[in-house]
Amino acid sequence: MYEGILPLWKEKGMTSHDCVFKLRKILKMKRIGHTGTLDPSVEGVLPICLGQATKVSEYIMNEGKTYVATISIGTSTTTEDADGEIVEQDKTAKHFSREQILQTLAQLTGEITQTPPMYSAVKVNGKKLYEYARKGIEVERPSRIVTIYNLELLDESTSFSGEDITFSLEIKCGKGTYIRTLAVQIGELLGFPAHMSALVRTGSGSFTKSQCLTLSEVEEAKNKEQLDPSIYPIQYALESWPKIEITDDLEKSIGNGQVIPANPLLETNEKLVFTKNENPKAIYIKHPTKSGMMKPEKMFSTEKGD
């Protein structure tokens, strides 16, 4: 069976779950997980975790993402993207200088507050928001703080004029950012209804488009027994934290997942990766209640299998 992280290029028209379902058939294995949903209308980088790598999917999900989005000024929709019904339309002639747009983007860079759209998978009282939305029920949505690392205007125009204005952005952002909502926020600052009319995820953590395979390419490589070079080891998701090769005196304790005295590296690092022959065996964190001790957060077996 395969072990590691497979960077997949998710094509339009499929959900992230569809991709996992198809990969289970192609690779003939059950233990497969994705690293965060991409809407069916969005294409882009979707790292897939195979075998024991499913244990590190949350770490990949917590890393930053890069998108290229098309922002449309003049129309807002129920879903904040091109798939929704029109809520508001402003057909007046509009004119923005490049400087106006750049100033707007600067206001939305850094830590910003977002309210998730009604058509989203955020849960309120145990139900996903889109379940309420489909029934026409409006509920109070919890706001969240997200981080926008960089917003780059990709269009080179010096001015933007017309009834409907569109421009493209490269967006580098942290976990939990809604690009659809960001499009609406850009419109609000410019004084008009807006929505996100197109979106491509060009990067997820350290994975980029150049590393990705489509589903058909995965199937072709698998049939030719050439898929292994495209699968990245679990260590790829653990690069942020220090690694220590397990010593003989600690091997049994760590192998059994025991609580042990804390390593000084945990004073300045969130996690510590213990390796055996450079392969990850366990991820340890500070013990939440026992001062000076550490406990395992994840354990990895040496055996490969489904």
What is the arithmetic mean of pLDDT over 61-72?
95
Does residue 234 register a pLDDT over 70? yes
pLDDT of 137: 78
Calpha distance 199→43 (Å, rounded)? 7
Domain containing residue 154: CATH number: 3.30.2350.10
Phi/psi at 230 (5° precision)? -90, -5
pLDDT at 247 over 60: yes
Among 154, 182, 202, residue at a domain's last position? 202
Give the torsion sign (CA, 153, 155, 158, 163).
Answer: negative
Poorest-pLDDT segment among 112-121, 183-192, 254-263: 112-121
State the pLDDT at residue 252. Answer: 93
pLDDT band at 135 (very low <50, low <70, confident <90, very high): confident
Label residue 116 by pLDDT band (50, 70, 90): confident
Q: Residue 20 sits in which domain range?
A: 4-63+205-236
Mean model confidence pLDDT for the chain: 92
pLDDT band at 286, cuts 50/70/90?
very high
Domain count, the chain: 3
Q: Are residues 45 and 95 in the same domain?
A: no
Identify whether 164 is a catalytic site residue.
no
Residue 306 has pLDDT above 50, yes or no: no
Q: Which of 39, 164, 228, 249 is catalytic?
A: 39
Tokens of 68: 């290229």
Both tokens of 79, joined, read 């879903």
- Answer yes or no: is pLDDT of 235 > 60: yes
Residue from 273, 269, 265, 270 nearest 236 by CA = 273
Are 191 and 217 part of one and the same domain? no
Distance CA 13, CA 22 (A): 14
Identify the pLDDT of residue 211.
Answer: 96
CATH of the domain at 271: 2.30.130.10
pLDDT tens column, 189-219: 999 999 999 999 999 999 999 999 999 999 9
56 shares a domain with 69: no
Query: Which amino acid, one-letter code, is at 158?
Result: T
Q: At what angle do helices 179-190 and 98-107 cross, to 10 degrees?
A: 120
Q: Are 57 and 35 in contact (CB under 8 A)?
A: yes
Which segment of 174-183, 257-266, 294-303 scores lowest on mean pLDDT?
A: 294-303
Is residue 172 pLDDT above 80, yes or no? yes
User: Would residue 212 count as lying in a domain?
Assistant: yes
Half-sphere exposure of 131 (CA within 13 A, CB side): 8
What pLDDT, on a 0 to 100 scale, did the predictor assign at position 139?
77
What per-residue confidence (pLDDT) applies to 302?
60
Same-domain check for residues 135 and 209: no
- The answer to whether residues 71 and 137 belong to one domain is yes
- pLDDT exceeds cutoff 90 at 133: no
pLDDT at residue 304, as a whole number: 47
**Predicted local confidence at residue 305, as pLDDT:** 43
Distance of CA 97 to the CA centre of its chain: 32
Ramachandran angles phi, psi of 295, nearest 5°: -135, 160
- Let me know: does 3 contact 234? Beta carbons within 8 Å: yes
CA angle in degrees (0–180, nearest 5) for 8-147-54: 35
DSSP the chain: ---EEEEEEEPTT--HHHHHHHHHHHHT-S-EEESS---TT-EEEEEEEEGGGGGGHHHHHTS-EEEEEEEEESEEETTSBTTSPEEEE--S-EEEEHHHHHHHHHHTSEEEEE---SSS--EETTEEHHHHHHTT-------EEEEEEEEEE----SEEEESSEEEEEEEEE-TT--HHHHHHHHHHHHTS-EEEEEEEEEEETTEEGGG-B-HHHHHHHHHTT--GGGPBPGGGGGTTS-EEEPPHHHHHHHHTT--EEPPGGGGT-S-EEEEETTEEEEEEEE-SSSTTEEEEEEE--S----
- In this structure, is residue 84 part of a structural domain? yes
Query: Domain check: are 79 and 150 in the same one?
Result: yes
Report residue 153: phi and psi, to 5°: -75, 120
